[in-house]
Structure 1
Amino acid sequence: MTVGEQSLNLLEYMPFSEGTKAAFLDKPSALQLRSELPRIDGATAFYPLYASFVQAVYPKDGNYHPHAWDSLALCSTTSRAYDSLLAGEADIIFCFEPSEYHRNTAAEDGITLQLTPIGREAFVFFVNQNNPVESITSGQVRDIYSGRITNWQELGGRDENIRAYQRRENSGSQTTLIAIMGDDQLIDPPTEHVFYGMSDIIKAAASYRNYENAVGFSFLFYCTEMVRNSEIKLLAIDGVYPSKETIQSGDYPFVREIYAVTAGDESSQVRQFKEWILSKQGQYLVKQTGYIPVK
């Protein structure tokens, strides 16, 4: 059942490619990097974002294929991106916060991770479109994923067991779920309820025949713009529906920072790149891509 994140056509966002969906600036970038280019990696959900950065700042003739091992703008998923950063194989990655495993690994290796917020995004929960439940509370999310609530009837739905999907350990979305659980212990799911890619968890919840009783999680831009599966619906949390407006206002409760992450000493090019991302032009691309700027 697992097909992996490469089922998404990230090539649609590849910098400088014909018809790319990566966002453009309305005038040339104030920063132009031409030598000692930072090696980039990151989460699947953020490839469209850092592809737009590369398109604005990097030279046109580079290798920016999302899946090529020697690419300057690789997309290997959150966990692998942190592995690459800690191994010195990437200079800057674009992800959510690191997992406990990656924090501990960095500390054991004497590496200081520097997390620079560059944008904001909503962590969302979704169900099959035929599920009558429209809204749950933050507490009920924790109750579901700790095993205290196990039937949709307890949430105003049908008398069906809840199939609570999770992602693999150290993925960006699974790390976010663990963070919002707080002191509540996350249940150990059956193997068939754990998915490698975010696209897989969306497809499973969208399946009418077998998974109408499922709940899953992802990020707003990813599931509404990159996957666009009409067979799922997003749940309101604490009565607030996830949208750009409710992220911006702070009304939606599960908003996370998007980080540019570096490890140890930064080169001059990396420092300039980070400063530019936080400039008016960089933040413009954050907004044009579909995320919420921090400035």
Structure 2
Amino acid sequence: MKEDKADHLFASFGAILAILFLAFVGLIVVALFSNSQPFYIPFIFVLAGAMIIAVILSNIQSIARQRFFPLAIKISLGLFVLTAVGYHIHRAYDQHLIVSEQDVNVDDYLPFADHTKVVTLDKPSTYTLSAQDQLPVLDGATALYPLYSAFVRAVYPANDYKPNDKKSSVRMTGTGQAYKQLIHHRVDMIFAAAPSKEQEKLAQAKGLKLNMQPIGREAFVFFVHKNNPVHNLTSAQIKQIYTGEITNWQQVGGNNDPIRAFQRPEDSGSQAMLRRWMGDQSPMTPIVDDVASGMGGIMEQTADYRNYKNAIGYSFHYFATQMHANADIRLLAVDGVYPDEASIRNESYPIITPFYAITASDRTAKDSTDTANPNIQPFLNWILSKQGQQLVRKTGYFPI
């Protein structure tokens, strides 16, 4: 009898060691390969703890002999399985609501691809570069890639310009990275919205000035879920939403729902635009996601817009209506003016902004044309010409 009890205790000790080992392996796997660490790390601890408690209780005869004990074990395991399944169902739903630049397939806008979506000129370009010329190395914002890809198709020699290739003459790294590439002399020209204060400071620290040439106009727009009953907000109301003064849709004529005001990462063109538009008022702390980082850590990053019924977000008109059109979102009128082609063209819509072709030069340079590549200024002159502005219009932007 004593030997049986000892054997049972020894087996229980072995089971506990096995549970701890499997939990350790599970934590390593989650830390290295999963982006669901905030859920699975505590889940593994709780599951392992529950299993160890079950093993210990199985050695207490007064409990182990109860009829409910095996059923309680099965129910507990079932609840853990349902919790994991429920988490993934909710996560899939949440991911489905995301509206992000990452969803855009920039390969659709490769300048010389067979089925490219980039627009073309009505006539051959009056300015071209050959393979023997020193091609200006380009980079820029995701939303402007279709435009400067059209410039490349008209002017550059045909080639496979891969946007994610560091050796390509035509790249697309997004606004934040594009400014860094320009400031560190890795590219000659970028296409983007105006820089943030941090990007300006970075250029100044490198002894550079950013030469900002407007090449087109765009509208900065706000959007909500299509079923949101609010169709119009004043500029003041939007600013109060993003400072946290207005927190419920009922305060602006909508449903009694808390407002989820999404923002963009600090180095993005749209976030820089929001800050410029808000002037002296600072946006509140943005909604964030916990994401996996290196060595199993967890870091916070600004959450992508999720199209909840009580959400509000912002972007530029072209991206929201053409490059990443979404039938489940609806643009808001601002100060009573809806952002359509007519109101943007005549600038009756209140938030119109230029976008730029940007170069960097030494602050001691006499003028912005003092650059190492002799083809930058002629290329920029062509962009400002009738043909270049035709591509601005045909792409979906508004000429200057």
Indicate whether the TM-score tops 0.5. Answer: yes
Counterpart for residue 122 of structure 1: 219
Matched, 1:91 2:188: yes
- Give CA deviations for 1:254-284 in whole Å, capped at 9, x if unaligned: 1111100000132320000100000000000
Give SS of 2:380's match: helix
Pairwise CA distance, 1:120: 0.3
Counterpart for residue 49 of structure 1: 147
Pairwise CA distance, 1:3: 9.1
Normalising to structure 2: TM-score of the pair?
A: 0.69
Q: Give the distance between the partners of 1:3 and 1:165, measured in 2 at CA.
A: 11
Map 1:99-118 onto structure 2 (within 5 A): 99-118=196-215
Letter in 1 for 2:381: E
Decide whether the 8 Å contact of 1:167 with 1:195 is kept in 2: no
Which of these two proteins has the greater Rg computed from alpha carbons? 2
Normalising to structure 1: TM-score of the pair?
A: 0.93
What count of residue pairs does the alignment treat as equivalent?
Answer: 284
- Structure 2 unaligned runs (5+)? 1-94, 291-299, 362-369
Pairwise CA distance, 1:189: 2.2
Decide whether the 8 Å contact of 2:263 with 2:302 is kept in 1: no
Q: Give the distance between the partners of 1:150 and 1:284, measured in 2 at CA.
A: 43
Q: Give the distance between the partners of 2:396 and 2:348, measured in 1 at CA.
A: 18
Matched, 1:60 2:162: no
Q: Give the distance between the partners of 1:44 and 1:187, measured in 2 at CA.
A: 25
Letter in 2 for 1:33: L
Matched, 1:25 2:88: no
Letter in 2 for 1:172: G
Q: Root-mean-square deviation (CA), in Å?
A: 1.7
Give SS of 1:112's match: strand
Counterpart for residue 237 of structure 2: 140
Letter in 2 for 1:95: A
Counterpart for residue 135 of structure 2: 37
Pairwise CA distance, 1:113: 0.5
Decide whether the 8 Å contact of 2:263 with 2:287 is kept in 1: no
Pairwise CA distance, 1:190: 3.2
- Structure 1 unaligned runs (5+)? 206-210
Question: 1:13 is matched with which residue: 96, 103, 109?
Answer: 109
> Hey, which of these two has a bigger chunk of helix by percent?
2
Amino-acid identity (%)? 46
Q: Give the distance between the partners of 1:82 and 1:159, measured in 2 at CA.
A: 42
Pairwise CA distance, 1:169: 0.8
Q: Per the alignment, do residues 183 and 92 of structure 1 end up closer, same or farther by CA in structure 2, a change over 3 Å counting?
A: same
Pairwise CA distance, 1:31: 0.6
Counterpart for residue 179 of structure 1: 276
Pairwise CA distance, 1:32: 0.7
Q: Give the distance between the partners of 1:141 and 1:179, measured in 2 at CA.
A: 14
Q: Per the alignment, do residues 3 and 148 of structure 1 end up closer, same or farther by CA in structure 2, a change over 3 Å counting?
A: closer
Question: 1:271 is matched with which residue: 344, 365, 377?
Answer: 377
